[in-house]
Amino acid sequence: MQIDVVTIFPDYLAPLELSLAGKARDKGLLDIRVHDLRGWTHDRHRTVDDTPYGGGAGMVMKPEPWGEALDDLGLDGATLVVTTPSGEPFTQALARELATRERLVFACGRYEGIDQRVLDEARTRTEVREISIGDYVLNGGEVAALAITEAVVRLLPGFMGNPESLAEESHEDGLLEYPVYTKPVSWRGHDVPPVLLSGDHAAIRAWRHEQAVRRTAERRPDLAHPSVLLDDVEVRLVQ
Ligand code: SAM
């Protein structure tokens, strides 16, 4: 997969150089490039924003630098990901979908966002996804691009040493993950649940499923498919 990130704060993306991207790059799975939008400005002040038509507070990112950047990077075969709090919610399902793409180009907004025509024009050429990482407002799209990249890259085939660990994670099957424990057996008066020490794999599977259902019902009932919450385990839980 190739990932291009366009931003006015390239330094913000430095964490991409850390273990995740490095590991994926070493495995030949990923090529990440970060680009400074100001490189596509032509005035002395390298201006990327201007006042909004129609008035109102804040500034809007100008279309010209974005247009030139996307032309130079090329959108052929790419999915343009525009980070915005008004986008579709980012979920594990969407991460899985993006992980199937050959190339992602991230457009990181700042100020009040990017002139809408940049998105409208790009849509005539390629797939554009406006994505929100949550119902809150960040100062810029860089943190969102980092979060989306991390969630997507760990799903690339060949990235995880043990792909089974992906299958059991929260959000993969409509359930939150069960609680996990490691050594020692007893710590500050708290013991590991005995079933995990029993060696009885069927009992361990059943206990984990029960815990996952319980957690999901308590914390995120909106997530679980009704059939999951109504299976035998849930019936036992509510009795
Ligand atoms: N005026 C915009 C609005 O109300 O929708 C918010 C602009 S925000 C201050 C600046 C930039 O931060 C956005 O263009 C977007 O790129 C990014 N951003 C902020 N919150 C975000 C979120 N929840 N998800 C993804 N990107 C976000």
Query: What is the ipTM for the molecules in this complex?
Result: 0.99
136 is in an annotated binding site: yes
User: Do 154 and 148 touch, CB atoms closer than 8 A?
Assistant: no
Binding pocket residue ranges, ligand 1, CB within 6 Å: 83-86, 108-110, 112-113, 132-134, 136-141, 144
134 is in an annotated binding site: yes
133 is in an annotated binding site: yes
End-to-end CA, the chain: 49
From 6, 91, 138, mutation site for ligand 1 pocket: most ligand atoms within 8 A of C-beta = 138
Out of 26-40, 49-63, 195-209, which region has the weakest mean confidence (pLDDT)? 26-40
Of the candidates 107, 18, 21, the residue with the CA atom closest to the CA atom of residue 68: 107
Distance CA 9, CA 110 (A): 10
DSSP letter, residue 18: S
- pLDDT tens sequence across 58-72: 999 999 999 999 999
Distance CA 166, CA 230 (A): 24
| pLDDT score of 147 | 97
| pLDDT score of 227 | 63
Return the half-sphere exposure (C-beta side, CA atoms, 13 A cut-off) of residue 103.
Answer: 14
- pLDDT tens sequence across 123-182: 999 999 999 999 999 999 999 999 999 999 999 998 887 777 777 788 878 899 999 999
Which ligand 1 atom is at minimum distance from the Cα of 135?
23
Which ligand 1 atom is at minimum distance from the Cα of 111?
10
pLDDT above 60 for 193: yes
The pLDDT-based confidence of 229 (bands split at 50, 70, 90) is low
